[in-house]
Structures are given as structure tokens and as C-alpha cells.
């Protein structure tokens, strides 16, 4: 598992912020946030298995939260062995937030503060279906510009961005091979999602989702870390009702919603970065 390691510019070696991306993304999504946070802490942005610089799994059905949580728990233990007493905070977008919930519910891992970016224990079925329409596609492109345009077309829910911002978010998602440009992930990582949404017995599929929600609520209720919930106000994955429930139970997350954004905020806009900074650095 590869990760991008941003040293703290003020020399503080006792505080680390772990940043974990969404389902089809990679760790370089956090470049803008990491530049800001590394003023006061070390920042580690992970490429989850099958994405970016990390290896691909031999069994694609391993592309699920338990595998990712085990990988990230190993990283946390490595960091704690290197720096006893290390303070660890977590910023997780979508899938990265679900992994964060699984780990923050374990007292022994001692995550201090948790930022959940547009995700909670309830994942809307319609959002899963939408993600399944493009995740795992393996298109190739004649040039970078065509590839960037394609990524922008499937990322409209991220909200408004400048052309420069879209390009910065898109280029790390690409790799060049034999004169063509490809997406920089294992297309097989979509198989567990597609196996669920395309199950012949849709009643069984919906029941599996409900069972998963019950398990996620149990994890959420076990979290004691101070928690910030970010939400795109037009999100189709995290509803306003779920966000409100997350404010009433478990760690009673503080919720901040961003207008004009769906699933999920990219944490590039200054307003979004400043919200996370204020939460992490608050006394």
C-alpha cells in the first residue's frame, strides 16, 4: 500500500492526519488540503489497494471495507510504533469515511478527531446504482485533455471547479501506456459493487444493504472521537435525514453542508479547507 507523506513544516512530529479517498479515487485528491494542514501536522494521504501507486489485489472480491480497514489499521500501528504517543486525526471522503468509522470505533487505535466527508451509516441505493454505472469502466484516451474531460463529465456532483482545479484533480488519476491514457486503478475493484446492485434477487440485495447499515450504525455509535460531518447539500449518497440522525447519536457529529455540491466535496475550495482546519486545530 502506497501513501503520500507530507512532513510538518513547523517540525511537529507528534501529530499526524490520515487522509483516505473515495471509492474510485486516490490519495492525490488531498494535495490542496495536505498543503494547508502540513503547516501544523504531518499529513499522510493513502492510495487504497487497487488505486494509484498501490498494488492490485489478486482476488477482486477483496475490494471491500474489511480489507481496507485491516490495511489502514496496520499503517496506524506502524506510525504509533515509530512515534509513541502520536496524536492521529482522520479525514475520510466517502469510502475513506467508512474506513474511518470502522477504525475510530476501536478504542485501541485512539483516533482523536474524525472528519467524515459526505458519508454515514446509511448509503442510498440510488447512489450505489449511479456509481455502478461508471466505476470499473476501463476507457482509454488519445491524450490527457480528452481524459481530463471524461473525468470531469463523471464528476459533476463534486461541485463547481476551475479548469485548473479539475486538471489537478484529474492528472493523478491517469497513467500513460503505449501512447494511450488510462484510468490509474484496477477496473476489477468495481466487481463487489456491481455484484450487489445487479443481484437477480433484488429483495436480497436490499436486505444485505439494510444489514450493512445496522452494522455501520453500531460502529458509529461506538465512536468517542470528536466528529465533523461534511455534506454536499445536493448529495444523493448522504441524506439530510441521515446527517441529522448522526448529530443526535454516537459521537453527535457537528454537520457542515456546502451549497451547490453533491457527492462529494473535493476539499479543494477554501471554505471546505478552512472548515477542516478550524475543526482539527480547535482546543
Question: Is 241 domain-assigned?
Answer: yes
CA atoms of 283 and 277, how far apart (whole Å): 12
Query: Does a structural domain hold residue 178?
Result: no
Does 154 reside within a domain? Answer: no
Domain count for the chain: 1
In a domain, 145, yes or no: no
Instruction: Let me know: does 225 contact 219? Beta carbons within 8 Å.
Output: no
DSSP β-ladder status, 180-183 and 140-141: antiparallel
pLDDT of residue 126: 84
CB atoms within 10 A of CB 115: 28
The whole model's pTM is what? 0.95
- Which pLDDT score is estimated for 123? 85
Element of type H or E holding 78: helix 65-82
Q: Is residue 108 part of a domain?
A: yes
Tell me whether residue 207 is in a domain: yes
What's the Rg (C-alpha) of the chain?
18
For residue 180, is it within any domain? no
Taking alpha carbons only, the member of 128, 106, 281 closest to residue 196 is 128
Best CA proximity match to 229, nearest among 212, 242, 211: 242
**Alpha helical stretches, state H, 15-55:** 31-37
CA distance 213 to 227: 19
CATH number at residue 115: 3.40.50.1820
Per-residue pLDDT of the chain (283 residues), as tens digits, is 999 999 999 998 999 999 999 999 999 999 999 999 999 999 999 999 999 999 999 999 999 999 999 999 999 999 999 999 999 999 999 999 999 999 999 999 999 999 999 999 998 888 888 887 778 788 999 999 999 999 998 899 999 999 999 999 999 999 999 899 999 999 999 999 888 888 899 899 889 889 999 999 999 999 999 999 999 999 999 999 999 999 999 999 999 999 999 999 999 999 999 999 999 999 9
Q: Look at residue 189 and tell me if it is in a domain.
A: yes
CA distance 147 to 260: 24
Q: Give the pairing of strands 87-93 and 111-117.
A: parallel
Question: What domain range is 68 assigned to?
Answer: 2-136+185-281
Task: Render pLDDT for 28-41 as a digit per residue (tens, 0 to 9).
Answer: 999 999 999 999 99
In Å, how far are 131, 142, 146, 172 from 155, measured between CA atoms? 10, 20, 14, 15
pLDDT value at residue 100 = 98
CA distance 49 to 39: 28
Distance CA 116, CA 90 (A): 8
Amino acid at each position: 500500500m502506497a501513501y503520500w507523506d507530507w512532513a510538518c513544516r513547523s517540525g511537529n512530529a507528534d501529530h499526524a492526519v490520515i487522509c483516505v479517498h473515495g471509492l474510485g479515487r486516490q490519495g492525490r485528491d488531498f494535495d490542496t488540503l495536505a498543503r494547508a494542514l502540513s503547516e501544523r501536522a504531518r499529513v499522510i494521504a493513502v492510495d487504497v489497494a487497487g488505486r494509484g501507486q498501490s498494488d492490485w489485489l489478486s482476488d477482486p472480491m477483496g475490494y471491500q471495507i474489511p480489507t481496507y480497514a485491516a490495511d489502514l489499521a496496520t499503517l496506524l500501528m506502524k506510525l504509533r510504533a515509530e512515534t509513541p504517543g502520536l496524536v492521529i486525526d482522520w479525514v475520510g471522503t466517502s469510502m475513506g469515511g467508512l474506513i474511518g468509522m470502522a477504525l475510530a470505533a476501536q478504542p485501541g487505535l485512539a483516533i482523536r478527531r474524525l472528519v467524515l466527508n459526505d458519508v454515514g451509516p446509511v448509503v442510498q441505493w440510488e447512489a450505489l446504482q449511479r456509481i455502478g454505472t461508471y466505476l470499473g469502466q476501463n476507457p482509454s484516451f488519445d491524450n490527457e485533455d480528452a481524459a481530463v474531460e471524461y473525468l470531469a463529465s463523471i464528476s459533476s456532483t463534486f461541485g463547481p471547479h476551475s479548469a485548473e482545479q479539475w486538471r489537478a484533480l484529474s492528472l493523478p488519476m491517469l497513467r500513460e501506456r503505449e501512447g494511450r491514457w488510462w484510468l490509474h486503478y484496477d477496473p476489477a475493484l468495481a466487481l463487489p459493487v456491481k455484484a450487489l446492485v445487479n443481484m437477480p434477487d433484488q429483495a436480497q440485495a436490499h436486505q444485505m444493504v439494510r444489514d450493512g447499515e445496522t452494522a455501520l450504525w453500531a460502529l458509529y455509535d461506538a465512536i468517542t472521537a470528536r466528529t465533523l460531518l461534511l455534506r454536499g447539500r445536493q448529495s444523493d449518497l448522504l441524506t439530510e435525514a441521515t446527517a441529522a440522525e448522526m448529530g443526535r447519536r454516537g459521537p453527535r457529529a457537528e454537520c457542515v453542508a456546502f451549497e451547490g455540491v453533491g457527492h462529494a466535496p473535493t476539499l479543494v475550495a477554501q471554505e471546505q479547507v478552512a472548515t477542516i482546519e478550524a475543526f482539527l486545530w480547535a482546543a
